């Protein structure tokens, strides 16, 4: 059988292939329109961006070192009324669940805050979880924060499970999220 005879016999297959290739080419994403694996801001379902920051006493804390624990990354400032309002609930939940593998990293957006107000704030709310200094605003930018407070609930697997923009978060919301994440397997 010659090529022409095969072509006449299979012309529908060739047409389908040509149409499929044309569709693939026509529906491709324009250059520069994808994120190339980089998400514009951390979202639920994505790995939490790693960071290292210091506490006011100089202790260095790295997020990735807490893998296997449930972590709440809360980005806040002392002048922020919703931040102030949610701190007592966060402290109570921290005390209740810390022994079960729950950690809070309270990232003070120090670049937007007054460092001298930090220690009185920590004392006023009797905070025992790590308060970290984001003096250059690196974590605030890394997490795409435009509103304070912004909270990221991170599971034992290091993935962000929920993002809460604004506040204040109440104790019931915190308890429900933390209990759910503590029950999940890494």
Q: Model confidence over 98-147: pLDDT tens digits?
A: 999 999 999 999 888 888 999 999 999 999 999 999 999 999 999 988 88
**pTM of this prediction exceeds 0.85:** no
Cβ(76)–Cβ(113) below 8 Å: no
The answer on pLDDT for 58 being more than 80 is yes
**Confidence grade of residue 29 (pLDDT, cut at 50, 70, 90):** low
- Domains in the chain and their CATH numbers? 52-183 (3.40.30.10)
38 pLDDT more than 80? no
* DSSP secondary structure string for all residues of 22-69: HHHHHTPPPTT-S-TT--SS--TTSBPPP-EEE-TTS-EEEGGGGTTS
């Amino acid at each position: 059988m010659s090529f022409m005879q095969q072509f006449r016999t299979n012309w529908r297959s060739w047409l389908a292939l040509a149409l499929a290739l044309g569709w693939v080419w026509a529906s491709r994403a324009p250059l520069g329109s994808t994120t190339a694996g980089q998400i514009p801001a951390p979202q639920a379902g994505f790995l939490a961006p790693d960071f290292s920051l210091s506490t006011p006493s100089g202790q260095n804390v790295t997020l990735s070192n807490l893998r296997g624990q449930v972590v709440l990354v809360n980005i806040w400032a002392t002048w922020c009324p919703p931040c102030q309002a949610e701190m007592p609930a966060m402290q109570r939940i921290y005390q209740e669940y810390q022994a079960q593998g729950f950690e809070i990293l309270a990232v003070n957006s120090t670049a937007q805050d007054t460092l001298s107000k930090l220690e009185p704030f920590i004392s006023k709310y009797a905070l025992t979880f790590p308060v970290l200094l984001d003096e250059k605003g690196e974590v605030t930018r890394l997490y795409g924060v435009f509103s304070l407070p912004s909270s990221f609930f991170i599971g034992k697997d290091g993935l962000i499970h929920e993002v809460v923009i604004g506040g204040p978060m109440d104790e019931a919301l915190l308890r429900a999220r933390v209990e759910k994440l503590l029950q999940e397997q890494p």
